[in-house]
Structure 1
C-alpha cells in the first residue's frame, strides 16, 4: 500500500472518530432540556383528564427531579446497538426510566394549547408506531452531538416536540404543557443534559460525577456521568 493511500485512510479514520466523539449514543440515559424555557422533559404516573387519557408528559424547571430521565433507544423496526453513535435523521424512541413507557404522540388535542397531544405510552418499553421520532440536527454534523440542540420530529404526523409555555394547575401545578407543533421554531429546540452516556468501545473512557443522578449505582466502566447544568 503506497503512502498516499495510507494517508487517505488515516484522514478518513480521523474524521470518523472526530464525528463520533461526544455523540449521543444508543442506551444513554439523560435529561432533555428545552432551549427556550430551560425546562426538563418530564413524565409521571398522572394521566390526562381529557384527550387520550394516557400518562401525561410535561416540562419541569426542577433540575433534581428523578422523573426527568429518558433513555435513547433505536427504532421499533431496527433497534440500535448499545454504545452506537446516533446519526442525524435517525429514527429513535425515548424510554421514560421511572414509568417504563415511551415518549409518544398521536392526533389527540393537547389540553391547554390545543396542539397535538404528547403522552407516555406502552408497557416496559413495548409501544407502537406513535413512539417513533426523527432526530433533526441543526448543524452540519453527521451525528447527534451532545453539545448541539436538535428537534424531534414525530414520524407519523410530521410535527415537532414542543414546549408552548402553557402551565398546568392541579395535580401538576407549575409544570408546563408538552405538545407537538406543526412548524420548527425556537420552542422546539432541545439539548441533552446530565445523565449516563454510553461510550463507543473505540473511544477513551472518561467520567465526571453527576451528584444529583439516582442512576449512579447502575454505572459501568463504559458509562459517563455528566454534571447537572
Structure 2
C-alpha cells in the first residue's frame, strides 16, 4: 500500500469519525429537555396559567428554578424518525411535556414588552403553522449540537423566541416574559440542558442534574439508559 492510499484511507476514517461523533452529540427527534436562555440563565417554562390579555392562551415564561418539571419540552418534526439527529435549519415543534401543548406564537402583543406574544396551545400536540419553528444554529455545523447555542425563528412571523428580562408579578411572581422579537441578538440565544436524549438506535441518553424528572420520564421509552452527570 503506497503512501497516497494510506493518506486517503486515513482522511476517510477521520471524516467518518467526525460524522458519527456529530450525530451522537446532536439533539435528536423525540428527545425531551430544558432550554436555557444564554443571556439570563432562565429556562423556557409553561404552566396552567393563562394570559389575562392578548390571546388568553396558556402563558409561556422564563423560570430561574432549575428543578421545576414544568420546563421540559419534547421536540418533534414533520415526517421525522424518532432518534434521528436534527439538522440545522430544520422545522420543528416543541411539545410542553406537563400540559401536552405546543410552543406557539401569533400576532397578539405580549403583555409586558408589547413584543409578539408566545403561548402554549393546541392540546394533545395537534397544532398549526403557529407552532412551527426553524432551528438556526449559531455555529457552522450541519446538525443542532447539544453543546452549541441556537435560535428558534417562528415560521409564520419570521421572529425569534426571545427573553426580554421583564418580570411578572402575581400569580407567577419573578418569572420572565417570553416573546418573539424581529432581530437576532443575545437575548434569543438558547441551549439545551437536562433531559432525555434519544439516540438513533431509539435508546435514550439521560442527562439529569436533579431527581425531579424521574417521575415524568415513565412515559418515555427507556430500554437502556446512559447517565451523564
What's 2:222 paired with? 220
**Displacement of 1:41 after TM fit?**
0.4
What's 1:186 paired with? 186
What's 1:143 paired with? 143
Aligned residues: 222
2:56 is equivalent to residue 60 of structure 1: no
Counterpart Cα distance in 1 of 2:125 and 2:179: 21
Distance change (3 Å), C-alpha of 1:224 and 1:56: farther
**Displacement of 1:212 after TM fit?**
2.8
1:125-171 per-position Cα deviation (integer Å, ceiling 9, x unaligned) = 00110000000000011100101010000011110000000011111
1:162 partner SS = strand
**Displacement of 1:18 after TM fit?**
2.2
**Displacement of 1:80 after TM fit?**
1.1
5+ residue gaps in structure 2?
none
Counterpart Cα distance in 2 of 1:110 and 1:177: 8
**Displacement of 1:79 after TM fit?**
2.9
What's 2:28 paired with? 25
RMSD (Å) for aligned C-alpha atoms: 2.2
Q: Where do 1:55-94 residues align within 5 Å?
A: 55-74=58-77, 78-94=78-94
Q: Stretches of 4+ moved more than 4 A in 1?
A: 3-9, 205-210, 222-227
Distance change (3 Å), C-alpha of 1:212 and 1:163: same
Q: Where do 1:55-134 residues align within 5 Å?
A: 55-74=58-77, 78-134=78-134
Distance change (3 Å), C-alpha of 1:202 and 1:12: farther
1:114 partner SS = coil
What's 2:46 paired with? 43
> 9-18 or 24-33, which moves further after superposition?
9-18
**Displacement of 1:10 after TM fit?**
3.9
5+ residue gaps in structure 1?
none
Distance change (3 Å), C-alpha of 1:153 and 1:145: same
